[in-house]
Amino acid sequence: MRASRYTIFVYAGIIGVPVVMLVMVAGFALGSPYAFTLIPMLLALALIVFGVSGIADIYLHPTYPGSMKRISNGAETENKARPRDRSGVPVAISIKRFNNETKQFDITTYEAYANDRTTVLGAMLDIKDYQDNTLSIRCNCRMGICGSCGMVVNGKPVLACETNLMKVSGGGAVEISPMLGHPALKDVVADFEDFFNRHKSVSPTLYRDDQKEKYAARKEYAQSKEDLDRYLPYSYCIMCGLCLDACPVVNSNPNFIGPQALSQVYRYYSDSRDQKGKRRLFDVDSVEDAWGCEFSGSCSTACPKGVDPAGAIQLLKGDLMKNILEKE
Ligand code: SF4
Ligand code: FES
């Protein structure tokens, strides 16, 4: 509806403006007294009507954040632009929400509809659209790429956009809570500042001795397939934070840097283009870094991208041991 209306405006502009100009020129040639008064006034009036109608269309549209038609909290409202999809079976979704004013958790249960294609994220967005627009969710790509929709579903840290609601609920009920390995911000949204700081602390970029050459390289840094295979799996990290949430060590000892940052140390340490070499290795030679890992493996189980942080940490430990033994 919106698209067709805008299409009419565009065609009206493309065809209408030259036609009006032709009429003006013809009127001027024929000596008409209206050529430069009445016709431009009509044109200006038409543009004002189009403009006001376009702005009203944007402001009154239900998806516009400040829309007067926005759905109010609690009351289920029909959205004519995008009617609610009620196909599938009803599922009870209990969401443990962090209240950032009282600093307490409240559990609210909603009803969503699940068919074999419904994701947990899709159901939560449906709840936000039609039942409770105060529900805060962080998401972006909806396809397991951006890493922003991590939460705990039935006790497991997962990406909500990659989790099938039917599978986890069995067509009955499901429990959702925020990841607790990160401080909660609001509802199921976690604060990632500390997580990103851990990531940044390991210098997660290619290091070159000649920094100028890095930013003005005359040719590409050639690599063999073997060079690529060494670090490629660890470069798939999307920084979703699920591994940190699943790690029992980081949850009991916050000083342990955690699996994500350590996997990135190995990612750059094993990249033939990186020239930081063993300095990366020795930077993590402590109980708060590589030696803090107790190899529970839960980080690798939780990782949605197959990064295997637990494996990367064992490879770091192996190389550290080799270097320590060589020194002795
Ligand atoms: S290693 Fe895996 S689980 Fe951890 S942040 Fe990266 S993608 Fe997410
Ligand atoms: S929304 Fe991007 S990973 Fe889920």
CATH number where 244 lies: 1.10.1060.10
Pairing of strands 89-99, 173-177: parallel
If asked whether residues 213 and 321 sit together in one domain, one would say: yes
pLDDT above 80 (res 47) = no
- Cα–Cα dist 62/186, whole Å: 24
Amino acid at 240: C
Q: What's residue 178's pLDDT? A: 98
Cβ 258 under 6 angstroms from ligand 1: no
Distance 223 CA to ligand 1 centre (A): 25
Establish if 215 belongs to a structural domain: yes
- Cα–Cα dist 185/211, whole Å: 38
If asked whether residues 207 and 286 sit together in one domain, one would say: yes
Domain boundary among 190, 206, 238: 190
Establish if 130 belongs to a structural domain: yes
Distance 140 CA to ligand 2 centre (A): 5
Q: What's residue 191's pLDDT? A: 97
Better-scored residue on pLDDT, 54 or 258? 258
If asked whether residues 149 and 213 sit together in one domain, one would say: no
Distance 54 CA to ligand 2 centre (A): 33
Residue 316 buriedness (CB in 10 A; 0-12 / 13-18 / 19+): buried
Establish if 65 belongs to a structural domain: no
From 137, 141, 305, the mutation candidate for ligand 2 (largest count of ligand atoms within 8 A of CB) is: 141
Establish if 66 belongs to a structural domain: no
From 236, 260, 266, 300, the mutation candidate for ligand 1 (largest count of ligand atoms within 8 A of CB) is: 260
If asked whether residues 137 and 24 sit together in one domain, one would say: no
What's the DSSP call for residue 91? E
If asked whether residues 199 and 176 sit together in one domain, one would say: no
If asked whether residues 121 and 186 sit together in one domain, one would say: yes
Better-scored residue on pLDDT, 232 or 215? 232
Distance 186 CA to ligand 2 centre (A): 18
What's the DSSP call for residue 119? B
If asked whether residues 181 and 238 sit together in one domain, one would say: no
Establish if 73 belongs to a structural domain: no
The two tokens of residue 128 are: 């936000």
Establish if 83 belongs to a structural domain: no
Contact (Cβ atoms closer than 8 angstroms) between residue 296 and residue 249:
yes
Ligand nearest to the backbone CA of 309: 1
Range from 78-87, 172-181, 237-246 carrying the lowest mean pLDDT: 78-87
Q: What's residue 70's pLDDT? A: 41
Domain hosting 107: range is 89-190
If asked whether residues 107 and 207 sit together in one domain, one would say: no
Which has the closest alpha carbon to 179: 169, 187, 188?
Answer: 188
pTM: 0.76
- Cα–Cα dist 154/173, whole Å: 10
Domain boundary among 60, 80, 108: 60
Q: What's residue 216's pLDDT? A: 86
If asked whether residues 214 and 304 sit together in one domain, one would say: yes
Cβ 121 under 6 angstroms from ligand 1: no
Q: How many domains does the chain have?
A: 3
pLDDT above 60 (res 69) = no
If asked whether residues 272 and 323 sit together in one domain, one would say: yes
If asked whether residues 215 and 263 sit together in one domain, one would say: yes
If asked whether residues 157 and 234 sit together in one domain, one would say: no
